[in-house]
Amino acid sequence: MNVELNMDGSVAEIVLNRPNKMNAIGAAMVKELHQCLDQAQSANPRALVLRGEGPAFCAGRDLAEADPGREDAQAILREVFNPVILRIADFPAPTFAAVQGACLGVGLGLALACDVVYAAENAKIGSPFARIGAVLDSGGHAFLVARAGAHRALELIYTGRLLSGKEAQAWGLVNRSVERVALLEELRVLAAAVAKGPPRAFMESKRIVRRIDEERLGLSAILDLEATAQGVAGRTADYKEGISAFQHKRAPQFLGR
């Protein structure tokens, strides 16, 4: 198996485990990733970590499978890679990516589809597609424009420049840049802490943020969405626990109900 699922309490961890190929991903590996996502979702985790084994997070599509001039590039994206990007973006729990080394192409899409991204200082993040005569894909246009702006997105696309973890943090592409040796531990600590929070409330916020991004909502619509979401959260046991804990000056114990 080139993709593995590990469970640590309420945190699921999916590992791209093809280090000798810098976790380059092809159709078979995408199928394994779907299987691990199925298993993770069935376990109802309260946080999901996505990481790559070895020196790279994911160097992108495995071009050894490419057949230029004969393959249907449109179908490959629509049928193979796009669905798994959407599955990660839609995963029903907070998601976290740990990025080290190469994070390119579909690897960039997989990482930035997660809610929170930590990058090692040695990360190489960007779009080298100009070097192979291809168009940035795997959601790269959406992610780069939303986080860095159209002008910086096009600069990366035109030049093929790769950003370090520090540069990616400065540009707003990732949440934090940390030393390589501390990357996974810091992200796991964060994921475990978030997993102790109120999952229903978190998912309501995740849906609101997604709609703001995709629908360009104004303040009035957002206020209405927040009111609806608060109504949903207000009917949960976690809401009652959180308010009660605050009133009694103690730490809340959220049970995910």
**Domains with residue ranges and CATH for the chain:** 3-195 (3.90.226.10), 199-247 (1.10.12)
Model pTM?
0.93
In which order are the strands placed within the sheet that holds 124-126? 102-104, 124-126, 162-163
pLDDT tens, residue order, the chain (257 aa): 999 999 999 999 999 999 999 999 999 999 999 999 999 999 999 999 999 999 999 999 988 888 877 889 899 899 999 999 999 999 999 999 999 999 999 999 999 999 999 999 999 999 888 888 889 999 999 999 999 999 999 999 999 999 999 999 999 999 999 999 999 999 999 999 999 999 999 999 999 999 998 998 888 988 988 899 888 888 988 888 887 888 888 988 888 88
Give the span between the Cα atoms of 118 and 138, in whole angstroms. Answer: 19
Token pair for residue 215?
A: 């629908």
Which ranges of the chain does DSSP label H, i.e. alpha helix? 27-42, 73-76, 82-89, 106-112, 140-148, 150-159, 165-171, 183-195, 199-215, 219-234, 237-247
